[in-house]
């Protein structure tokens, strides 16, 4: 259970760091780039892959797609947190599970229970309620766009990671390192472009912040995988506890520490998001166990 708790804390910490980035004038593209470099470094320490494994990685479009999407969606995530806050962004990110679920139904012809269908319906209502805001602002359209891109981006990333899990030529952890390396290369190209064309200065503070970001980002993944191994007989409990834990913890941090303002519909959206995860992850027993794990 401690693995799951650490993973939740790391996930929320990443959101907090992205929230603070604007306050301290951190360049997100630079920080995200060094984040992947540090994640690669930690991966070699903890996963200890053989060089032959990395070299023998198949030339696969899925690797390339993930290498591009990971940094790009990270930028969207930062923009969403900056624009609408941690609470709403965490909900958008966690409800992105709908996309791989819909893909399993329409593409892989998986049979859905009535509860899962109800969960999808509740989830879409939750997204609308969560993002709803009465007052019009100058950047309101962009504020809506970022969480939608986060929702779509993380959903597609989840599908691609499932495809990578089916690659048996090299271990999954080695595939993860290959993806990190590609993401770093794409991010580094963006840094060079901004430096050469937009004259954006390379600053050491961005490197430090990127390493801190990479630390929490990597351990979020590491301990989430450890939680799944430790509770191999109850994967749905781990999944439900992780998603509910991040939404609850992120909401508490956003509301009480950063004083994010939510209206009544936003609070209803928060509750409906939790209900949707309860229904989708097969259901009352799972959610009860997940809540017991969270508050034990």
Helix or strand (DSSP H, E) at 80: helix 61-84
**Residue 137 pLDDT:** 53
- Of 150, 151, 210, nearest to 29 (Cα)? 210
Query: Is 171:49 a contact under the CB 8 Å cutoff?
Result: yes
pLDDT by residue (tens digit) across 217-276?
999 999 998 887 887 776 767 777 888 889 999 999 999 999 998 999 999 999 999 888
Contacts (Cβ under 8 Å, ≥6 apart) of 290: 237, 240, 241, 244, 245, 281
Task: Examine residue 283 and say whether the peptide bond preceding it is cis (omega within 30 degrees of 0).
Answer: yes
User: DSSP letters along 198-249, please?
Assistant: S-PPP-HHHHHHHHHHHHHHHHHHHHHHHHHHHTTT-HHHHHHHHHHHHHHH
**Residue 293 pLDDT:** 55
pTM above 0.75, yes or no: yes
Query: Is 131:147 a contact under the CB 8 Å cutoff?
Result: yes
- Of 8, 4, 5, 12, nearest to 86 (Cα)? 12
Contacts (Cβ under 8 Å, ≥6 apart) of 264: none
What does the CA dihedral 101, 167, 2, 209 come to, rounded to 10 degrees? -90
**Residue 59 pLDDT:** 81
**Residue 200 pLDDT:** 92
Residue with tokens 């760091």: 17
**Residue 284 pLDDT:** 47
**Residue 283 pLDDT:** 45
**Residue 294 pLDDT:** 52
Q: Which residues of the chain have pLDDT under 70?
A: 108, 134-142, 234, 236, 282-296
Q: Phi-psi region for residue 60, left (φ > 0), alpha (ψ -120 to 50) or beta?
A: beta
């Amino acid at each position: 259970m401690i693995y799951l708790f650490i993973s939740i804390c790391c996930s929320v910490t990443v959101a907090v760091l992205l929230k603070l980035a604007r306050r301290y004038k951190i360049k997100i593209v630079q920080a995200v780039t060094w984040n992947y470099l540090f994640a690669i470094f930690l991966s070699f320490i903890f996963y200890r892959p053989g060089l032959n494994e990395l070299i023998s990685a198949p030339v696969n479009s899925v690797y390339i797609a993930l290498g591009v999407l990971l940094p790009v969606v990270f930028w969207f995530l930062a923009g969403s947190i900056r624009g609408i806050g941690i609470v709403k962004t965490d909900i958008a990110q966690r409800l992105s599970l709908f996309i791989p679920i819909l893909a399993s139904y329409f593409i892989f012809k998986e049979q859905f229970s009535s509860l899962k269908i109800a969960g999808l319906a509740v989830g879409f209502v939750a997204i609308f309620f969560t993002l709803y805001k009465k007052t019009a602002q100058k950047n309101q359209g962009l504020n809506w766009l970022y969480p939608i891109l986060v929702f779509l981006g993380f959903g597609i990333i989840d599908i691609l990671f499932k495809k990578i899990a089916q690659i048996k030529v090299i271990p999954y952890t080695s595939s993860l390192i290959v993806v990190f390396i590609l993401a770093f290369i794409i991010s580094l190209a963006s840094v060079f472009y901004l430096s050469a064309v937009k004259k954006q200065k390379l600053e050491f503070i961005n490197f430090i912040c990127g390493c801190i970001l990479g630390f929490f980002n990597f351990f979020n993944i590491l301990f989430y995988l450890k939680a799944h191994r430790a509770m191999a007989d109850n994967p749905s409990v781990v999944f439900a506890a992780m998603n509910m834990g991040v939404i609850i913890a992120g909401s508490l941090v956003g509301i009480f520490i950063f004083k994010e303002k939510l209206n009544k519909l936003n609070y209803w959206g928060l509750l409906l998001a939790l209900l949707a995860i309860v229904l989708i992850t097969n259901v009352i027993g799972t959610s009860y166990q997940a809540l017991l794990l969270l508050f034990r």
